[in-house]
Amino acid sequence: MDALAVTSDVLAAAVGIATPLALAATGETVAERSGVVNLGVEGAMLFGALGGAIGATLGGPATGLALGVAAGILVAALFAAVAIGAGADQIITGTAVTLASVGLTGTIYRQYYGPGGVGLSIPTLSPLPIPGLAGLPLIGGALFNQPVTTYLMALATPLTWWLLFRTRAGLGLRAAGEDAVAARAAGIPVRLTRMVAVLVGGAFAGAAGATLVLSQVGTFTERMTAGRGFVAIAIVVLGRWNPVGAVLAALLFGLATAMQFAFQAAGLKVPYQLFLMLPYLLTLLALAGVVGRVKAPGELGKNED
Amino acid sequence: MRSDLRAAGTAVGALLAGLVVLALGLAASGYDAGNALAALVTGAFGSWSAFTGGTLVRAVPLILIGLGFALALRGGALNIGAEGQFYLGAIAATWVGVHAAGWPGWIALPALAAAGLLAGALWMVVPVVLRLRFGVLEVISTLLLNFVADALVSLMVLGPMQEPTGIYPQSAPIAASARLPLLPGTRLHGGFVVALLSAAGLSWVFARTWWGFRLLALGTGPRAAEVSGRVPAKRLLATALFGSAALAGLAGAFEVSGVSYALYQNLSPGYGFTAIGVALLARLRPSAIIVTGIIFGALEVGAGAMQRDAGIPAVAAYVVEAVIILALLLGDAASRRGSSQKPVVEAAEVLP
């Protein structure tokens, strides 16, 4: 294979890997901008994946996506009830919600598909080439020949940016995350705002999980999100609590992951595990550079008194 | 005393809530809940060998990691990366154990334990530097390092540390002298005694030392502690995090030296996360962590028996553990509403 074709393939793979991460990170950005950090994103993604798988076997990809989103919202609602409703520690609540999701999805999956989960195979969404653009060299495959879920992500993220930074509702949400007392004095229902923000985050995480099943893997397996929800939380920070930044950070992570294909193609004898580590190490390094230069939402992680 | 009683009451209530949810869930999915719960209890406590070789063996890493989690959280830090530190400890201990052929046990075992402690603590260097120098929260950095540790184990058992035939993804077995002694007639290894001693030691540090007092001051009121000028916040926090990670590393070392006798992938079934529940259910009290560690160990071993005898997926145990944690958080929130008491568990503010 020539270098151009390899680069084009790597870029296309990077965008595919980045799509669910960007979706989950966009949703978590909304939640964190309102002052809530939700480690249950991992669990919501996992439930989104299971919902996506069950929905797709029942009624096709669109049903799968809808059921995945609904499942993600449900998981986020559990988190919101404990962390915002009762004011419990957000990090610990999120960890517990993820633990519950691992157990529940595993149990439901075995109940639904039998112990081995045999025979569960969902046709993945095929790439949808955009006429005229898909044929562009280098970036055509990466940007204009992707499954419909990637295009949805590309629409949802700028829309979220606009809602957060250019509307009154977005201003209120950010105020709730920056200074709860001042926001309340200005008549913003802080608690309600945060609940809605967390549910929106859950919807995005559910969509991310469904995307993983529908566009990439084509089946559900236990713990299949394998920490992508946690990576999304790091990506939120890396993207400086901005949805567009989150997409860029997700692309960076996707690219670091996809690099292994390039090295394989080049025939380099490097243990593949080093490439598994690379995206996480890069993220840590990037975090060191980003944090401190940009301020986190003032109320992030704090309980409302 | 009153608050002690109330805390214990919440803990028992949370435990019951977990079991009730399990019973209801089983009944709702058409299982015989009575049968299943009987299988769970028998699997965990039904015989001397099940109790010692199953429940107590499983409790060792949970107690050690739970103690570590409590140590960090007393200072207001959340170590979510025990899973990775456990693996680093396991890798280092395996390396020592494999090379310990011919060493006497009194050298091999301390060397192995020290390697585990040290490797676990080393895995915390990056998160501590990131937190103190760059303000990156340890929640994120320790979490990310879990994935790196996973890949590192895979690299080791398929690369430099793979068993000599090069067929299986595991290390060579460790030398006999590097294996922890067993309680005669059982599979319970000496790591249990160390876990008990660690709990006693930490209990003393928390209750009786100036260091433990300052750590608590830092955890409950980071601003006040810093402003007072009597609390070296950064150093305390770093020490607590290193100690937390070292305990997780020791847990990994004991899992190799007392149970698996070799390094494998997926050596931990999620101890690092389960232990969070262990520490919280014990309200971060070292002596209580022994009890809750054994309870969670029983739950997981019993769940395995439930899967064998009643066909119920063992992962259901995670749901029970999660319900226990959530019920605890809710119980605390409810009792806080009546009084102006500080929450038992509260993450610290970010240090500058």
Q: What is the ipTM of this complex?
A: 0.89
pLDDT tens digits, chain A, 305 residues: what are they? 577 788 888 888 899 999 999 999 999 999 999 999 999 999 999 999 999 999 998 888 899 999 999 999 999 999 999 999 999 889 889 999 999 999 999 988 887 777 655 557 777 787 888 887 777 777 777 787 888 889 899 999 999 999 999 999 999 999 999 999 999 999 999 999 999 999 999 999 999 999 999 988 888 888 888 889 999 999 998 899 999 999 999 999 999 888 877 777 777 777 888 888 988 998 898 888 877 666 778 888 877 54
Contact A237 B140 (CB under 8 A): yes
Which of A92, A224, A293, A303 is the mutation pick for testing B, counting most B CBs within 10 A?
A92
d(CA A42, CA B223): 32
Q: How many CB atoms lie within 10 A of CB B323?
A: 24
Contact B316 A284 (CB under 8 A): no
User: Distance, in angstroms, between A214 CA and closest chain B CA?
Assistant: 24
User: Distance, in angstroms, between A134 CA and closest chain B CA?
Assistant: 35
In a domain, B241, yes or no: yes
Contact A89 B151 (CB under 8 A): no
Q: Give the model confidence (pLDDT) of B136-163 as tens digits.
A: 889 989 999 999 999 999 999 999 999 9
**Strongest mean pLDDT among B208-212, B266-270, B289-293:** B289-293
* Residues above pLDDT 90, as percent of chain B: 62
Domain boundaries, position B133? 2-338
On the question of pLDDT at B340 being above 50, the answer is no
d(CA B126, CA B108): 29
Which segments of chain B does DSSP mark as H helices, in order? 2-28, 33-45, 48-49, 57-74, 82-98, 105-122, 125-129, 138-158, 191-208, 210-220, 222-228, 233-255, 271-281, 286-310, 316-338
Which of B80, B150, B278, B318 is the mutation pick for testing A, counting most A CBs within 10 A?
B318
Contact B329 A280 (CB under 8 A): no
Which CATH number fits the domain that encloses residue B80? 1.10.3470
Contact A99 B126 (CB under 8 A): no
User: Distance, in angstroms, between A95 CA and closest chain B CA?
Assistant: 8
* Residues above pLDDT 90, as percent of chain A: 53
Which of A101, A104, A107 is the mutation pick for testing B, counting most B CBs within 10 A?
A107
Phi then psi for A88, rounded to 5 degrees? -85, 165
Contact A284 B145 (CB under 8 A): yes
User: Distance, in angstroms, between A136 CA and closest chain B CA?
Assistant: 36
Look up the CATH architecture of domain A3-290: Orthogonal Bundle (1.10)
User: Distance, in angstroms, between A168 CA and closest chain B CA?
Assistant: 29
Size of interface A-B (CB pairs under 8 A): 151
The tally of domains found in chain B comes to 1
d(CA B281, CA B15): 8
Instruction: Break chain A into its structural domains and give their ranges.
Output: 3-290
Single-letter residue type at B135? G
What pTM value is reported for the model? Answer: 0.90
Chain B residue closest to A227 (CA)? B147
In a domain, B351, yes or no: no
Please give the torsion angle defined by the CA atoms of residues A234, A240, A243 and A245, in that order, rounded to the nearest 10 degrees. -90
Contact predicate A250/A22, CB 8 Å: yes
In a domain, B131, yes or no: yes
Pairing outcome for strands A128-129 and A145-146: antiparallel
Q: Give the model confidence (pLDDT) of A133-152 as tens digits.
A: 777 777 777 787 888 889 89
